[in-house]
Amino acid sequence: MENEFLWLKNDLDFVLDRIRKNIPVFYNKVPGAASHHLIYEATPNNYWTSSFWIGMLFLAKEITQTNEFDEVISVQMKSFQERLENKVELETHDIGFLYSLSAVADYKVNGTKTSRDLIVQAADCLMVRFNEKAGIIQAWGNLDDLNENGRMIIDGLMNLPLLYKASELTGNDVYKKAAIRHAKQTQKYIIRENNTTYHTYFFDRRTGEGVEGSTAQGYSDDSCWARGQAWGIYGFTLSYLHSGDYTFLESAQGLADYYISRLPVDNVAYWDLIFQEGSQQERDSSAAAISICGLLELAKQLPLSNSNRNRYEEAAIKISKSLSELYTTKGISEANGLLKHGVYDKNSNKGVDESVIWGDYYYLESLVRLSRSWNMYW
């Protein structure tokens, strides 16, 4: 690693050290979604965020090229098998996050045959949420919940790689077709003309017509929630990668351009992009970490002749350096997370200015992406 990138090596060492220290605490549990005073509690595997810990363990295994994480990975994998068998809190589109970072990662890193089956079973479970009429995967709640039936959210793009993978493994394109329809509906309804995004969009579940956009975690219905925009940059890029539909890459660029245009001086966006330099509102370091991964993948997917490649890569490196210098918990001995200044849900005062576990995962993924070539889990 060249001198210019010494910070990367230091950060990887810091992260590996934290992960090693965390193993006894989260051996057969997982860190909660958000820390409390920068400390995650050990919680059961029953939430949408439960896979980010095992995702970090797989990355640690890949970085170190050792077997030192195998035992805890196998305990965690068992828990994901049981969760699917017993359908524990799986009334959510986040089955994609949960089983990409467990089953898909295990299949890619270890080639485990049972994880191949788990991928397909998890994808089947996610497919139940696909509303054929509206062409969307219902985000939250059970299918009888009239307040949620017909609602999709921008985050859902990150759950589609599980479906693309299931089609690749089985040769059955039903999963991929659903994923592409969902991504197309996201593109049509969630992206506004100025390349900002709604957080959520409702469809009439009987006619399939789009009804209206609104927010849950953003500042207002017509503002642009920073993490949603970051999910969109990464998610549309992934749908391009798995479908070959170039319009998804164009959408990802539009979202990336808007996101970059709203960055304050230290390059880490406020929790909603309506806020700009000088605002007293909190930053969301997790949106920053997701955006780095999205921008790096976007740059990689663009044709060599496209001048945006360098621009996106440079933006990703600037955001990374800022996280490394100003937003990690390095030197805070009581903290057990990686990034500080994340925001889970400002509107309900949940995890505000704390570590959030997906922020930690994507921060590590971004370090891995910047330091080596990597066969991603998405």
Q: Residue 152 pairs with which residues in a beta bridge?
A: 201
Is 345 catalytic? The answer is: no
Under the binding rule (CB under 6 A), the answer on residue 155 touching ligand GLY is yes
Residue 297 touches ligand GLY, criterion: CB under 6 A: no
Closer CB to ligand GLY, 61 or 346, in the complex: 346
CB of 33 or CB of 295, closer to ligand GLY: 33
Q: Which residues contact 167 (CB under 8 A, 6 or more apart)?
A: 173, 174, 175, 176, 179
Q: How far is CA 352 from the centre of its chain?
A: 18
Number of residues that bind ligand GLY (CB under 6 A): 3
Q: Is 227 in the site for ligand GLY (CB under 6 A)?
A: yes
Helix (H/G/I), strand (E/B), else coil: 151: strand
For 116, phi then psi, to 5°, come to: -60, -45
To ligand GLY, the closest distance from the beta carbon of 300 in angstroms equals 23
- Alpha-helix runs per DSSP H in 128-245: 160-170, 174-185, 226-243
DSSP 8-state code for residue 41: P
Q: Cα-flanking dihedrals φ and ψ of residue 106, to 5°?
A: -65, -40
Which member of 11, 106, 155, 284 is catalytic? 155
Nearer to ligand GLY, 226 or 256 (CB): 226
Q: What b/e readout covers 316-342, taking b as 16+ CB neighbours within 10 angstroms? A: bbbbbbbbbeebbbbeeeebbbbbbbb
Nearest residue to ligand GLY, by Cβ distance, number only: 155
Structure token digits, residue 48: 């949408």
The distance of closest approach from Cβ of residue 42 to ligand GLY in the complex, given in angstroms and rounded to an integer, is 21
Is 117 annotated in the active site? Answer: no
User: Closest approach of Cβ 154 to ligand GLY, in Å?
Assistant: 9
Q: Does 262 bind ligand GLY (CB under 6 A)?
A: no
Q: Is the Cβ of residue 69 or residue 140 nearer to ligand GLY in the bound state?
A: 140
Are residues 343 and 351 in contact, defined by beta-carbon separation less than 8 angstroms? yes
Q: Which of 11, 94, 284, 360 is catalytic?
A: 94
- Comparing CB distances to ligand GLY, the nearer of 16 and 96 is 96
Catalogue the active-site residues: 94, 155
Binding stretches for ligand GLY (CB under 6 A): 155, 217, 227
